[in-house]
């Protein structure tokens, strides 16, 4: 198996709801498994990106939002064996008990550092035990477990059980050029990447839930904008509908997982669903769709490895949107030079979009991303693009992608701090 295939396969993971509440619930549920007796205190410390992303996002099987309630449900009903889908089996009775814990002041969360590096420390104190579970660098990568003061498990990040860690160590995507990524996706045995079909199965089920569920609002309006048809002759309108109905379903916490990439369901949705629209509208083959999706994923990963998993810019729109745009060029029979020009157009337009957490606003950001990608592609394939000399564009596509990532980290650390301060002020009102 090609190492790029392994990279994609390890990184593709189903995630129920916004990834961050799932990770919080997973951490708390894991800590709870080492305790007995009545709970006295639940505290979750996390980095700014984790704190921000979970701050007002919807939670699966609940009408509640936010990191405190995610932690409470993780304790009451979280299933650590299900990883990022830890809240899959939550019931109304569980919601009532979680409400009780929150109201009693048992559950607290705290900010621990302004950084894009993932960090969660879940501590459970019961009448008889204390357990602390630490997660670092990727959403389910447990690096330490301490029970009653004794270290039960400790390991370095690269030995973790999450493919995100492998991305830095074994399968370093930055040793590849855009041309080499293109060569890979055009020559790899199609059977080797057939597993990507699962992403469409998962994301289409999420889209269907978004379209039929009465809690969504953008989904219905996007359907109206598409002439009332799920698949119309308007490729861009269809792409926006398929992509953003799925994103809305995810961020409000509907009970269907997304297939995540780089630790994010919204990244995974933007990297795939517009391509599915192009496939359906234009009659591309399934093989073309899978090869295009592999390219979309890889470009997204390339940018995200520079920006960090949880930064102050919207990686969903910027990284996944850029990957999707390059994949559209591939589907339309375009060249690597055209993809380079697409990256210049994307870098020069939406790179500064902020991430203010996983919330309903992600839907609007997804709409902007689809619009930007389609315009970037149409311009680039017509020979219209922002030249290398301008702005943050590099002399090579690799340099451009690196610069896009650097805008987030270290470039937007101050922005991250401001966003978190705004959130903290909202809590005081």
Are 27 and 123 found together in one domain?
A: yes
Rounded percentage of the chain residues whose pLDDT exceeds 90: 76
pLDDT of residue 7 exceeding 70: yes
Least confident of 110-124, 157-171, 181-195: 157-171
Are 267 and 230 found together in one domain?
A: yes
Are 278 and 391 found together in one domain?
A: yes
Residue 330 has a pLDDT of: 98
- Average pLDDT of the chain? 92
Are 186 and 78 found together in one domain?
A: no
Are 192 and 108 found together in one domain?
A: no
Rounded average pLDDT over 132-151? 94
> In the listed set 127, 159, 191, which residue is the last one of a domain according to the structure?
159
Are 138 and 244 found together in one domain?
A: no
Are 57 and 99 found together in one domain?
A: yes
Are 228 and 285 found together in one domain?
A: yes
- Domain extent at residue 98: 15-159
Q: State how far Cα 368 lies from the chain centre.
A: 17
Top-confidence residue, 134 or 50: 134
Q: Is residue 167 part of a domain?
A: no
Q: Is residue 9 part of a domain?
A: no
d(CA 191, CA 184): 14
d(CA 6, CA 11): 8
Residue 429: band (very low, low, confident or very high) from pLDDT cuts 50, 70, 90: low
Are 289 and 219 found together in one domain?
A: yes
Domain count within the chain? 2
Residue 64: band (very low, low, confident or very high) from pLDDT cuts 50, 70, 90: confident
Are 243 and 380 found together in one domain?
A: yes
Are 188 and 209 found together in one domain?
A: yes
Question: CATH code at 131?
Answer: 3.30.1330
Q: Is residue 388 part of a domain?
A: yes
> In the listed set 159, 183, 202, which residue is the last one of a domain according to the structure?
159
Rounded percentage of the chain residues whose pLDDT exceeds 70: 96
Are 155 and 178 found together in one domain?
A: no
Q: How many residues does the chain have?
A: 429
Q: Is residue 2 part of a domain?
A: no
Q: Is residue 71 part of a domain?
A: yes
> In the listed set 114, 133, 159, which residue is the last one of a domain according to the structure?
159
Question: In this structure, are residues 389 and 348 in contact, taking their beta carbons and an 8 Å threshold?
Answer: no
Residue 168: band (very low, low, confident or very high) from pLDDT cuts 50, 70, 90: very low
Q: Is residue 218 part of a domain?
A: yes
Question: CATH code at 222?
Answer: 1.10.4100
Q: Is residue 385 part of a domain?
A: yes
Q: Is residue 60 part of a domain?
A: yes
Residue-wise pLDDT tens digits, 246-281: 999 998 888 899 999 998 899 999 999 999 999 999
Residue-wise pLDDT tens digits, 369-414: 999 999 999 999 999 999 999 999 999 999 999 999 999 988 998 9
């Amino acid at each position: 198996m090609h190492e790029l295939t392994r990279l994609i396969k390890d990184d593709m993971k189903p995630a129920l709801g916004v990834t961050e509440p799932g990770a919080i619930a997973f951490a708390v549920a894991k800590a709870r498994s080492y305790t007995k007796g009545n709970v006295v205190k639940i505290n979750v410390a996390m980095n700014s990106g984790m704190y921000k992303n979970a701050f007002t996002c919807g939670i699966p099987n609940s009408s509640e939002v936010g990191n405190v309630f995610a932690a409470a449900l993780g304790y009451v009903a979280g299933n650590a064996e299900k990883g990022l889908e830890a809240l899959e089996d939550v019931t109304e009775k569980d919601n009532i008990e979680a409400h009780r814990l929150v109201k009693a002041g048992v559950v607290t969360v705290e900010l621990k550092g302004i950084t894009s590096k993932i960090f969660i420390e879940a501590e459970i104190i019961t009448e008889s035990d204390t357990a602390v579970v630490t997660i670092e660098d990727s959403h389910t990568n447990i690096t330490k477990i301490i029970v009653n003061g004794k270290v039960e498990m400790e390991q370095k990040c690269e030995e973790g059980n999450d493919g995100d860690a492998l991305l830095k160590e074994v399968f370093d995507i930055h040793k590849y050029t855009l041309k080499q990524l293109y060569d890979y996706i055009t020559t790899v045995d199609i059977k080797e990447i057939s597993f990507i079909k699962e992403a469409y199965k998962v994301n289409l089920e999420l889209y269907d839930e978004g379209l039929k569920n009465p809690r969504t609002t953008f989904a219905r309006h996007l359907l109206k904008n598409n002439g009332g048809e799920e698949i119309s002759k308007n490729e861009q309108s269809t792409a926006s509908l398929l992509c953003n109905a799925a994103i809305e379903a995810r961020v409000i916490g509907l009970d269907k997982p997304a297939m995540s990439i780089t630790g994010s369901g919204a990244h995974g949705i933007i990297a795939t669903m517009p391509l599915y629209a192009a496939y359906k509208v234009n009659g591309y083959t399934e093989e073309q769709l899978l090869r295009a999706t592999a390219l979309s994923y890889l470009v997204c990963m390339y940018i995200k490895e520079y920006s960090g998993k949880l930064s102050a810019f919207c990686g969903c729109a910027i990284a996944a949107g850029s990957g999707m745009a390059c994949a559209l060029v591939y589907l339309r029979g375009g060249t690597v030079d055209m993809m380079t020009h697409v990256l210049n157009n994307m870098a020069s337009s939406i790179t500064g979009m902020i991430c203010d957490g996983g919330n309903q606003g992600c839907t609007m950001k997804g709409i902007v991303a689809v619009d930007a990608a389609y315009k970037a592609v149409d311009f680039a394939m017509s020979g219209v693009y922002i030249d290398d000399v301008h702005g943050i564009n590099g002399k090579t596509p690799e340099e451009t992608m690196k610069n896009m990532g650097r805008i987030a980290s270290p470039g937007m650390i101050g922005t991250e701090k401001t966003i978190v301060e705004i959130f903290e002020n909202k809590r005081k009102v």
